[in-house]
Amino acid sequence: MTATTTSECVSTVPSTSAESVPAKPVAVAPDGKASLNGFLVKKCVTKAEVVWCLNTIATHRSFRSAAASAALFPIMFPTYDVAKKLQLGKDKVGYTICYGIAPYFRNRLLSKLHSVPHVVVAFDESLYKIAQKEQMDVLITFWDPADDVVKTRYLTSCFLGHTRAEDLAAAFKKATENIEPAKILQLSMDGPNVNLKLLKSLKQEFSASDGNQNIVDIGSCGLHVVSGAFKTGHNVTKWNTVVFLRSLYNLFKNVPARRADYVNFTGSILFPLKSVRWLENGKALARALQVLPNVVKYVEHVKKEKKLPACGSYAHVETAVKDEMLPVKLAFMLSVSEELEPFLAEFQTEKPMLPFLATALDSLLRSLLGRIVLKEKLDAAGTFSKLIKIDLENPNNIIGIAAFDIGLAAKSLQGERASRSYVQVCSNSTAQVRLRKFDRARERLEKLWVELCASSHEELLLFVKIVLCLSHGNSSVERGFSVSKECLVENMKEESLVAQRLVYDEVSAAGGVAKVDVTDKMIDMVRSSNIKWKEDRERKKKERLDVLDAERKKKRTAALVKELESKKQKLMEDAQLQVSMLQQEIESLKQ
């Protein structure tokens, strides 16, 4: 399908000059030419509306705001036919996006997935505050043969009340109903037990339906494991440093009087930073160390003036600064955090990084263990499996306390042919030079291997495509929740959120609104979106009426049952009275 070109739209715009030119009689164009010109103007108007709707999603504007801005275009560009004919009300912006653009992008994505041999499905859950439901985002990773790169795309979102394993399984099946189960290579997720239970049930189900299908299981998100290890280590120490950091930030947050007192007592305008997950903990710890002397001064002055802040944050801070080891604890946590953060920063990406994960984890663990474990013990543990088996309870493996460094400042899926091809490629001198020059921070790994396997290594390239599609973490899904928060407006419907996420994902993948290819097929779907919107509105109206009708029938039935029960009770009472009277009469006759 051909795309609408810029030249087509430009041809409908009247030319202007700096000088005032007297009006000339305009010759009447033949019917055919007028009809063609009208068609082109209409097409360009639709394209302009599409582009403005795409921009609305890319900039996270509300439909009402987008419509208000579009109403100014005829005033801003009075000589442009397209601007004059542009009509974008709030409702039209909404149904153009939800029933035109989003379905087009979704159909295009599903069409791509039909032609790929394997996909990796990633999912995660977060609270959708507007609807007070759990939002389960589902993303797809696959090798795109058109560009020979691994791509991660948003598929859909499901909204749940409960998030038990069976609820997640039902939502997962609904989200992936258009994907052949045999194509699912891996499930990428974080590590709660409910997710592991879901993985186990899906593996059993897939194995029962197709004995040859196995979901690759390389564990949960590597980023969560490292971040969780840092949290676990902190909890084991019982230092409550995170509580201190949070209290330190909240003590001065949105309280001008305390901030003024702090500046007055210390002469400093440097305040604590907010403690967050993952990549920002180091900054919060470093700032806490920097302002700690001033915080101690602030607490001392507050005590002297006997104007103690009546909040829990102050109580935590006052208790914490009494600990003489607090600076040492903060510094140690900072040194560990600074060692973890480069790993988290490097692997929090959509680029294929799984081949580097094991080596990076091994290096990270060796560096951390090197603070307390004897060097000869680390050297003896030549493999990762041996490294994690070092007994840290054995004093013979541990260096002396005085020497502690507290740091103050996949198995081949294609078999022997792929293995032989790998050896051949790595033995090639040209390939060795290319591998040594590879910079994973600036280059794409899949581009490298497509280049190395370009000639006669099809089996190896197939293996590479599978491995590079495997997920090394769940950061892509979690970033999506941040996108959702930016899209949210009050009373937003669930289907509108899903549509906006689909459009935003496509715009981001294209590199911006200006680079999105507005095809004739997209224009056709946009033009039919009004009909689909009205049909869906009528369907929902009918469903609401059906629900109301069912509720009314239920109420009428309940009222009828109640009435019959009342009659039954009255008849039973009358019958009981008759029985009693007859019994009395019988008794009197017997006497």
**Do residue 290 and residue 327 come from a single domain?**
yes
Q: What is the distance between the terminal CA atoms of the chain, rounded to a whole angstrom?
A: 106
- Residue 212 within a domain: yes
pLDDT, residue 18, reads 37
Taking residues 505-516, what's their average pLDDT?
Answer: 90
**Do residue 151 and residue 191 come from a single domain?**
yes
- Residue 25 within a domain: no
- Residue 297 within a domain: yes
**Do residue 444 and residue 508 come from a single domain?**
no
Asked if pLDDT for residue 446 goes beyond 90, the answer is no
| Residues 154, 157: Cα–Cα separation, whole Å | 9
pTM recorded for the entire structure: 0.65
The residue ranking higher by pLDDT, 143 or 488, is: 143
Can you tell me which residue has the tokens 């505050």?
129
Please provide the average confidence, as pLDDT, over all residues in the chain. Answer: 81
**Do residue 124 and residue 217 come from a single domain?**
yes
pLDDT, residue 104, reads 94
pLDDT, residue 252, reads 92
Supply the DSSP symbol for 137. Answer: E
**Out of 119-123, 179-183, 264-268, 405-409, which region has the weakest mean confidence (pLDDT)?**
405-409
**Do residue 198 and residue 277 come from a single domain?**
no
Q: What percent of the chain has pLDDT over 90?
A: 23
Under 8 Å between Cβ of 130 and 492: yes
Residue 106: both structure tokens together: 């979704």
pLDDT, residue 409, reads 42
Asked if pLDDT for residue 193 goes beyond 50, the answer is yes
**Do residue 429 and residue 482 come from a single domain?**
no
What is the tens place of the pLDDT at every residue in 544-574?
999 999 999 999 999 999 989 998 888 988 8
474: three-class secondary structure by DSSP: coil
Taking residues 274-293, what's their average pLDDT?
Answer: 80
Which domain does 439 fall in, by range?
416-469
The residue ranking higher by pLDDT, 415 or 233, is: 233
Asked if pLDDT for residue 42 goes beyond 90, the answer is no
**Do residue 205 and residue 287 come from a single domain?**
no
**Do residue 217 and residue 253 come from a single domain?**
no
**Do residue 216 and residue 270 come from a single domain?**
no
Asked if pLDDT for residue 50 goes beyond 90, the answer is yes
What is the tens place of the pLDDT at every residue in 322-338?
988 898 888 888 888 88
Asked if pLDDT for residue 187 goes beyond 70, the answer is yes
The torsion angles phi and psi of 243, rounded to 5 degrees, stand at -60, -40
Q: Kindly indicate the confidence band of residue 46, based on its pLDDT and cuts at 50, 70 and 90.
A: very high
- CA triplet 365, 368, 369: central angle to 5 degrees? 80
What is the tens place of the pLDDT at every residue in 65-75?
999 999 999 99
| Residues 516, 39: Cα–Cα separation, whole Å | 22
**Do residue 154 and residue 233 come from a single domain?**
no
Amino acid identity of 250? N
Under 8 Å between Cβ of 172 and 181: no
| Residues 422, 425: Cα–Cα separation, whole Å | 5
pLDDT, residue 270, reads 92
Radius of gyration of the chain (CA): 34
Q: Kindly indicate the confidence band of residue 416, based on its pLDDT and cuts at 50, 70 and 90.
A: low
Taking residues 491-496, what's their average pLDDT?
Answer: 71
Identify the helix (H) or strand (E) that includes residue 211. Answer: none
- CA triplet 108, 114, 116: central angle to 5 degrees? 110
Q: Kindly indicate the confidence band of residue 110, based on its pLDDT and cuts at 50, 70 and 90.
A: very high
Residue 551: both structure tokens together: 């509720």
Asked if pLDDT for residue 358 goes beyond 60, the answer is yes
- Residue 321 within a domain: yes
Q: Ranked by mean pLDDT, which of 100-104, 122-126, 458-462, 508-512 comes out on top?
A: 100-104
Instruction: Report the number of distinct structural domains present in the chain.
Output: 3
pLDDT, residue 364, reads 86
Can you tell me which residue has the tokens 């189900």?
205
Asked if pLDDT for residue 350 goes beyond 80, the answer is no
pLDDT, residue 32, reads 60
pLDDT, residue 95, reads 92
Under 8 Å between Cβ of 367 and 388: no
The residue ranking higher by pLDDT, 178 or 352, is: 178
The residue ranking higher by pLDDT, 457 or 52, is: 52
**Do residue 152 and residue 176 come from a single domain?**
yes
Asked if pLDDT for residue 489 goes beyond 60, the answer is no
- Residue 88 within a domain: no
Q: Kindly indicate the confidence band of residue 19, based on its pLDDT and cuts at 50, 70 and 90.
A: very low
pLDDT, residue 242, reads 86
Question: Edge-to-edge strands of the sheet including 119-128?
Answer: 149-160, 133-144, 119-128, 184-188
- Residue 585 within a domain: no
Using the 3D structure, point to which of 292, 310, 341 is the last residue of a domain: 341
- Residue 125 within a domain: yes
pLDDT, residue 192, reads 64
Residue 81: both structure tokens together: 């036919």
Q: Kindly indicate the confidence band of residue 427, based on its pLDDT and cuts at 50, 70 and 90.
A: low
| Residues 48, 57: Cα–Cα separation, whole Å | 14
Using the 3D structure, point to which of 341, 358, 378 is the last residue of a domain: 341
**Do residue 128 and residue 211 come from a single domain?**
yes
pLDDT, residue 79, reads 87
- Residue 453 within a domain: yes
Amino acid identity of 261? D
